Structure 1
């Protein structure tokens, strides 16, 4: 269940009506800022594209899904005893962006992006460089405007590291959800082994990713995960779980797209077949109306109007 003023439940977590109101209110603030931030990041991308080949990736995901945010807040409240109000106040990735640069222009491209954002009044509040980490490679930064509390996340990748990150999405979800705990059935040592198996699988996709020269100049160098020996059967189990999670996510995406389509049709007061039938009726009516108009036009001599003078609007752009 997911309601603006009611409670929320999902994947073993829940929010009370009051907690959900706090979370939803914070998300709506980010939603209201989205268009303006998107426009700013497009301007930054255009400039860095000319100078360093920068590309803005995944702009359609620049606003975190509201249910993902609810789940994040509910998870923090349940597992880490973090008040929902604190999560709503501290969250920095509701608006989020990714810029990619080729390895040889990466460091200079990131530095130019820093300059451009500072010119816009933003300052970095967090800079995490994990290019030496075996499980996740890139630079994650958080930016906040000097005159407001408005903030966003900006990730810097190469095309290859971005591809690996996207391919590892389900493994990331599994590692940070209660899926592994359910698989381990309360056995903490087994759960640690499963998480390590997920780390090994993520690392596989980063093995051939080139580390950009000069990246060590950017942010705080962090190594968050360490690869430890793990039984092969645990790796295969998590690989199977990853495939199931991917199929589940694809089904959710299709259902969401279908729901959006139906909502748009409902807004017009039509379902699919009715819409087609209505369009057919409109075409028939248009044909019947056009026929007498054509006959009338043929019977009446056509008089060419005088050419209208320009009203100073300039050329028409089509």
Structure 2
């Protein structure tokens, strides 16, 4: 079971079996409510989630004892998002009942999720030792949960104020508060009397913030052109407000998708870079020996080695290839990394007239050294985009490298005009830019057709 599923199941089990939650839900269903119950509900869920984290997260669960950004993003957005849904719905339903009891048939609105606060928590816990950030999965989780009620209070006070009503904000202490909290206790007319910090809370703060619907103003609403606080006016304002909420929800979902995509890209890049470094490090250990053998064989067979300075792919280039191969073949990054066989690559150039004989001379020398050519691709044929012989060689110890065989003309074309055309084609979309793609392909074939084909080339297969 993955970590997200485990946390979800543990939380759902605690929620289902909580007698306190059952009692609070029953009171809501019976209409026996007061605002303090919303805070009780939020505190209970915050403590519940903090306990789930405490019981199920440990330093040995994460590579190097650190939570990656991607994992932190998934954990906190999934769990805090669930708390937001439960608490905001419960708070909204309580506010709706309180509205009705006060004689206002106005449904409550749902506060927006404080995504920026979740994102900040994700950043704080990412890529640090779990032991250093473990506290973030405790009190900040409880604080965030209770803040959902505060946000609901503010959203509904603002909504009713825009309806022309005169709501009040009430902050209460638990009786064991600090001087800062005590200074905020009171009843305030919204919005002008409300202190800027009335919705804020420090760590371990359990003060409550409530909203009480107030009387209505009279007159004509300049926006709806209806009599202020008439049912028509209220319906129109609600319609506008719900439209705004819906648009905001669409925007949030879009940002969420973008955030998840960026998170996945970040994690994949990080993983691909690690895999690239590992593969390069492995080949770095055997490269000097392989290079020395190839230089010896090339000299013995009258060949010329070219491009030796590029014999080892750079970490950046290999990282890009791992990512692109994984995406194109729909395979894991690990599989893509293992499938790449040209991280170490060489090129030998032979005269056209001796090309085939020289190729088989190299094969003979390889056999003597225990090298084995495991793949051969001969494209010295008419109508090919690229002409050359590409092989994959095993050094006898499982280390693979690519060896290309070229004539002077084929290497000249490859590194000259053919490379330029290929780079132009590479950035095109094979479907959207099909005409331009095929034109460049035909241009490359035409260019490659200028390369003479060595006699007896059909023997290489």
Q: TM-score range by the shorter chain?
A: 0.5 to 0.7
Which residue is equivalent to 2:15? Answer: none
Indicate yes or no: 2:453 matched with 1:216.
no
Deviations 1:204-246 (A, max 9, x none): 3323211000111001xxxxxxxxxxxxxxxxxxxxxxxxxxx
Which residue is equivalent to 2:389? Answer: 139
Structure 2 CA distance, aligned partners of 1:207 and 1:34?
A: 35
Indicate yes or no: 2:454 matched with 1:204.
no
Structure 1 residues 57 and 19: CA distance shift in structure 2, 3 A: closer
Deviations 1:165-220 (A, max 9, x none): 111224334434xx212xx8xxx2x422222122122223323211000111001x
Indicate yes or no: 2:286 matched with 1:33.
yes
Supply the RMSD in Å over aligned alpha carbons.
2.1
Structure 1 CA distance, aligned partners of 2:329 and 2:424?
A: 18
Which residue is equivalent to 1:297? Answer: none
Structure 1 residues 174 and 34: CA distance shift in structure 2, 3 A: farther
Deviations 1:283-308 (A, max 9, x none): xxxxxxxxxxxxxxxxxxxxxxxxxx
Which residue is equivalent to 1:108? Answer: 357
Q: Given the two structures, how large is their TM-score scaled by the length of structure 1?
A: 0.58
Q: Is there any run of 5+ residues in structure 2 with no aligned partner, and where?
A: 1-67, 70-264
Structure 2 CA distance, aligned partners of 1:42 and 1:58?
A: 12
Indicate yes or no: 2:296 matched with 1:43.
yes
Q: CA deviation at 1:30?
A: 1.9
Deviations 1:63-109 (A, max 9, x none): 11221111111111223212111122121111111111111100000
Q: Aligned with 1:124: secondary structure?
A: strand
Which residue is equivalent to 2:221? Answer: none
Structure 1 CA distance, aligned partners of 2:388 and 2:457?
A: 9
Q: Aligned with 2:346: secondary structure?
A: strand
- 1:279-294 mapped onto 2 (5 Å cutoff): none
Which residue is equivalent to 1:180? Answer: 428
Indicate yes or no: 2:402 matched with 1:153.
yes
Which residue is equivalent to 1:19? Answer: 272
Assess if the C-alpha contact under 8 Å between 1:124 and 1:144 holds in 2. Answer: yes
Indicate yes or no: 2:331 matched with 1:82.
yes
Q: Aligned with 1:180: secondary structure?
A: coil
Assess if the C-alpha contact under 8 Å between 2:272 and 2:333 holds in 1. Answer: yes
Q: Aligned with 2:337: secondary structure?
A: helix
Structure 2 CA distance, aligned partners of 1:175 and 1:32?
A: 36
Structure 1 residues 55 and 104: CA distance shift in structure 2, 3 A: same
Structure 2 CA distance, aligned partners of 1:48 and 1:205?
A: 29
Q: Aligned with 1:109: secondary structure?
A: helix
Structure 1 CA distance, aligned partners of 2:327 and 2:423?
A: 17
RCO comparison, higher one (Cα < 8 Å, 6+): 1
Structure 2 CA distance, aligned partners of 1:19 and 1:55?
A: 34
1:122 paired residue among 360, 368, 371: 371
1:191 paired residue among 420, 433, 439: 433
Between structure 1 and structure 2, the one with the greater Rg is 2
Q: Aligned with 1:135: secondary structure?
A: coil
Q: Given the two structures, how large is their TM-score scaled by the length of structure 2?
A: 0.40
Assess if the C-alpha contact under 8 Å between 1:34 and 1:62 holds in 2. Answer: no
Structure 1 residues 171 and 83: CA distance shift in structure 2, 3 A: farther
Structure 1 residues 90 and 77: CA distance shift in structure 2, 3 A: closer
- 1:165-314 mapped onto 2 (5 Å cutoff): 165-167=414-416, 168-176=418-426, 179-181=427-429, 188=431, 190-219=432-461
Indicate yes or no: 2:338 matched with 1:93.
no
Assess if the C-alpha contact under 8 Å between 1:23 and 1:84 holds in 2. Answer: no
